Structure 1
Amino acid sequence: MSSSQQPFRLAVIGSGPAGVYAAETLLRSKQVKNGDLEVSIDLVDRMPTPFGLIRYGVAPDHPRIKGIITALHRILGRGDIRFLGDVEFGTDLTAEELRAHYDAVIFATGALQDADLDIPGIELAGSHGAADFVAWYDGNPDYPRTWELDAESVAVIGNGNVALDVSRVLSKSADELLRTEIPANVHEGLQAANTTDVHVFGRRGPAQTKFSPLEARELAHPQGLQVVMDPRDLEQITEAEWETIKADKRTDQVVRNFSGWLEEQQRREAAGEEPTDKHGGPVSRRLHMHFWHRPVEVLGEDGRVTGMRFERTRLDTEGRVEGTGEFVDYELGAVYRAVGYHGSELPGIPYDAKRGVIHNVAGRVTDTEGTVVPGLYANGWIKRGPVGLIGATKSDAIETIASLLEDIESGTLTPAPERDEDSILRLLEDKGVPFTTWDGWMALDEHEKALGAAAVDADDEPRARVKVVEREEMVRVAREGMSTPANA
């Protein structure tokens, strides 16, 4: 560092969990806590709002959202991390400009693109990436305000958290989602939807899903919904596999949900009874759970989806999935692939296109030959790929910050020439970038809560929040609530 009187300047690109936990890990390091290192951290995000994937990549009725948002809000609300929103890396600020104002930069931009599903017909109209649908119903300002929901029968390919979220939103009534923060255009779109049957397909069996017991139970909660099971999917589980299932509490609870739904379904069929939803009411929609199905081809006519072909699968003697040679077709009007995410390339940053990650070693960005690029680091999904939950992101942050601290202590980082905290604000304003701050987010937060208080849900109760969708409106509300010098 050029001057012991100035703090170490760090920019973190991305304000989701990976970005926030990277900043928090540095602030909680013994070097900072002992007073041996003074730091100044800016959290930069392309959205006018903080929280990244938690605000724009998870279903609004997801049971764990509120807890994560509360934790992130508490960290950013302390005031020792500065938030700069509506600033896009590569467009509003380049890597060279960042290194001119910060001693180091951590990229925590996540992975928001859909992973490819390389089968014939996947390009047909009516075939969608689940991430795009999630962005629509979460009110991402960079996506269209409408979504085609004409199909009566739709497929969701995948057995992970995203597939679960998409299936739940498609199978719930629009009015039930009024209890959440969904925008008005999303409620209107879902209310006009023709969807009656949602089919969820997984390559493996019921024991290999990524669902938590709570999330599995909640699949059956929506009013008017019946969960439909195929007896073959559970009959295919061997006695040895049942013993393995019973030995794992989480897996046992999840599979018992499935077997319980099947038993009730078969009891009603044997008694000649009409199906009901979990609450005893009439059924207007069905959620079909299909296991042991490998996607083979999306079928279509005149350029549009009309169905899908699958091969039945099983586990071989070593527990690997293999095809059985039995193929089955389903009539469908739309397909959503939820087979994983893929990270996006950042301008000027070494990128592994196959894995969708920034080239790095222990969080240090490297070129394609493995040589470390001084001052650049990565954390979260853009570092390791889109696997793991919050716990893995925290572990990532510990590793990345350990590398950063080693480089600070060894003196290998070149200090930035423009290290005044306000210099980056002046640069943004000189470039005409209408950035937002934490004060601005607090103003927008209150604005969205006020919109909710003025609206009502299906039970005529005030809503907790109504999310603003238009970027211009978000920036306007946030800028009006910002203190100087940010809006000077």
Structure 2
Amino acid sequence: MSDGSEVRRPSAGTAERPLRVAVVGSGPAGFYAAGQLLANSALTAEVDVYERLATPWGLVRAGVAPDHPKIKSVTRLYEKTARLPGFRFHGNVEIGRDLDHEELIAAYHAVVYAVGAPIDRRTGIPGESLHGSHAATEFVAWYNGHPDYAGRRFDLSSKRAVVIGNGNVALDVARMLVLDGSELRATDTADHALETLEASSIEEVVVLGRRGPAQAAYTTPELRELGEAADVVVDPAEAELDAASRAHLESEAAAVTARQNVEIVAEYARRAAGRRRRIVLRFCASPVEIVGSERVEGVRIVRNELVDTGDGRLSARPTAREETIECGLVLRSIGYRGTPIPGVPFDERRSTIRNRGGRVIREGTDMPVPGVYTAGWVKRGPSGVIGTNKKCAQETIDHLVDDLQDGLLPEPTREPGALLDLLVRRGVTVVDYAGWEQIDVHERAAGEPQGRPRVKLVHREQQLQHAARPQHPYRPLH
């Protein structure tokens, strides 16, 4: 490389000289990346996974709806990775706070950032900061027991809530708001949220989509599941497709999901309603203002028409028709954003780490930063399902291994154990994988008498207390 960095000889990755990799983030992308490295029979690797929380799994633990336990079962695969020789877990360590990027890269041949996209996108409309207006990401983290959000308060005393967005997260929060208490009590919903949701007065949740049923971003199983939780109401006029949408669905370019979603929406439009709680799907409707004096009192929306942009896409264009939906709660679910890590090139426009195929690249160039990689949402943006991260991580790891073979990885200048010593001096309590297992055992045991999968510890101090165990020296694993 032209920057003068010392490079690693291709012999790294042997039993005598294991490839040392740090993976930052223990969600699906991070665990897939770690697993792909450790399962590679052609090299010997040591992978240290750093996680800012005391618990692993990322959005599988803190983002998947509690009534979807089958989706959470993917953690069994990650548990297998954690048992592979060469794996270490360092929880309760935040890169950029407890350790910086330069300290991390000095101890490893490569660093893979898989930190997700934790921040919500804002609508930018007036009234967004009123009491009762929240990001759906915060609501999801609250009912899933994320330590950063366990202390939040959500007022569910109104009869109607409005969810802005038309993806799976929007449908998740709408469904959680109408689920019966007996259904929630069988899940791992955080206790503080369980109490609030059981006492909720909300009877109707309106879900706003700026385009039509054919352009909605949710998946078919999520849409179909709504009808099991409550009545789903659709105005037959809004279920009707415009000519351009019909033509697209009839073409070979149309996705199967879009066709199925349109059929399900049409079916909902034909159904009769009779249950106490209902979810109303609105299409071609965009919020222009959240109204209220001190707290949310309603959402003013504009009706849209779909316009062909000339590149095969249909864009929502506002018309002169407006209406106001009275409500006391607004949850926006219009996407996620990645956040910068000091020292790592970041694309502010896309809210992702600057990269090409997972290789982190320098600002204003296509030149890779030696030994620095990325995977998951912070690499490609918030798209896809959990399994999408497997292919995404594989692309990144393939490039990392190629760079190893080409001798392009920097030689570490310090031992990883020195970082743990540094963390101890800085007063950081590091949770290893055995510590997480102690948290896991406690939560499962607390849930068993109640017929629940677990009762989550939602405060960091509680988690650290249950994870506490004697300190062991950092030692090579091969």
Q: Which residue of 2 aligns with 1:8?
A: 19
By how many angstroms is 1:312 displaced? 1.6
Q: Which residue of 2 aligns with 1:345?
A: 340
Question: Taking structure 1 as reference, are residues 429 and 261 closer, same or farther at Cα in structure 2, changes over 3 Å only?
Answer: same
Aligned mates of 2:468, 2:370 — CA distance in 1: 35
* 3-state SS in 2 of match to 1:449: helix
By how many angstroms is 1:131 displaced? 0.7
Percent of matched pairs sharing the same residue: 40
The answer to whether residue 215 in structure 2 is matched with residue 203 in structure 1 is no
Does the aligned pair in 1 maintain the 2:214–2:245 contact within 8 Å?
A: no
1:407-426 matches, cutoff 5 A: 407-419=403-415, 422-426=417-421
Report which stretch shifted further, 100-109 or 383-392. 383-392
The answer to whether residue 87 in structure 2 is matched with residue 87 in structure 1 is no
Aligned mates of 1:264, 1:186 — CA distance in 2: 31
Q: Which residue of 1 aligns with 2:294?
A: 303
Q: Where do 4+ consecutive residues of structure 1 move more than 6 Å?
A: none
Residues 85-118 of structure 1, C-alpha deviations (whole Å, 9 max, x = no match): 1111111111122123212111100001101212
Report which stretch shifted further, 126-135 or 348-357. 348-357
Aligned mates of 1:180, 1:245 — CA distance in 2: 41
* 3-state SS in 1 of match to 2:409: coil
Does the aligned pair in 2 maintain the 1:12–1:107 contact within 8 Å?
A: yes
Q: Which residue of 2 aligns with 1:269?
A: none
By how many angstroms is 1:288 displaced? 0.9
Q: What amino acid sits opposite 1:475 in the alignment?
A: L
Aligned mates of 2:431, 2:324 — CA distance in 1: 50
Q: Which residue of 2 aligns with 1:378?
A: 374
* 3-state SS in 2 of match to 1:330: strand
Question: Taking structure 1 as reference, are residues 311 and 106 closer, same or farther at Cα in structure 2, changes over 3 Å only?
Answer: same
Q: Which residue of 2 aligns with 1:280?
A: none
Does the aligned pair in 2 maintain the 1:44–1:83 contact within 8 Å?
A: yes
The answer to whether residue 467 in structure 2 is matched with residue 478 in structure 1 is yes
1:33-182 matches, cutoff 5 A: 33-34=41-42, 37-62=43-68, 64-145=70-151, 146-182=153-189
Residues 268-325 of structure 1, C-alpha deviations (whole Å, 9 max, x = no match): xxxxxxx43xxxxxx222211111112222222x232211122222333555133333
Aligned mates of 1:345, 1:446 — CA distance in 2: 34
Q: Which residue of 1 aligns with 2:362?
A: 367
Q: What amino acid sits opposite 2:294 in the alignment?
A: G
Question: Taking structure 1 as reference, are residues 130 and 240 closer, same or farther at Cα in structure 2, changes over 3 Å only?
Answer: closer
Q: Which residue of 2 aligns with 1:271?
A: none
Q: What amino acid sits opposite 1:107 in the alignment?
A: Y
By how many angstroms is 1:448 displaced? 0.7
Aligned mates of 1:239, 1:423 — CA distance in 2: 61
2:423 to 425, 428, 449: 428
1:399 to 384, 395, 409: 395
Report which stretch shifted further, 289-298 or 70-79. 70-79
By how many angstroms is 1:243 displaced? 8.2
By how many angstroms is 1:424 displaced? 3.4
Q: Which residue of 2 aligns with 1:469?
A: 458
TM-score (norm 2): 0.89
* 3-state SS in 2 of match to 1:217: helix
Q: What amino acid sits opposite 2:381 in the alignment?
A: G
By how many angstroms is 1:418 displaced? 2.0
**CA RMSD of the aligned region, Å?**
2.4
Q: Which residue of 2 aligns with 1:24?
A: 35
Q: What amino acid sits opposite 1:289 in the alignment?
A: L
Aligned residues: 455
Aligned mates of 1:216, 1:148 — CA distance in 2: 26
- Return 5+ residue gaps in structure 1 as ranges: 266-274, 277-282, 456-461
Q: What amino acid sits opposite 2:436 in the alignment?
A: W
* 3-state SS in 1 of match to 2:264: helix
Aligned mates of 1:70, 1:208 — CA distance in 2: 34
Q: What amino acid sits opposite 1:298 in the alignment?
A: I
Report which stretch shifted further, 379-388 or 243-252. 243-252
By how many angstroms is 1:163 displaced? 0.5
Residues 246-279 of structure 1, C-alpha deviations (whole Å, 9 max, x = no match): 97543343333222222222xxxxxxxxx43xxx
Q: What amino acid sits opposite 1:293 in the alignment?
A: A
1:264 to 246, 249, 271: 271
Q: Which residue of 2 aligns with 1:320?
A: 314
Aligned mates of 2:129, 2:200 — CA distance in 1: 22
TM-score (norm 1): 0.87
Does the aligned pair in 2 maintain the 1:439–1:483 contact within 8 Å?
A: no
Aligned mates of 1:129, 1:232 — CA distance in 2: 30
Does the aligned pair in 1 maintain the 2:38–2:84 contact within 8 Å?
A: no
* 3-state SS in 2 of match to 1:383: helix
Does the aligned pair in 1 maintain the 2:38–2:46 contact within 8 Å?
A: no
Q: Which residue of 2 aligns with 1:270?
A: none
Residues 392-423 of structure 1, C-alpha deviations (whole Å, 9 max, x = no match): 3223222222222232222232211223x544
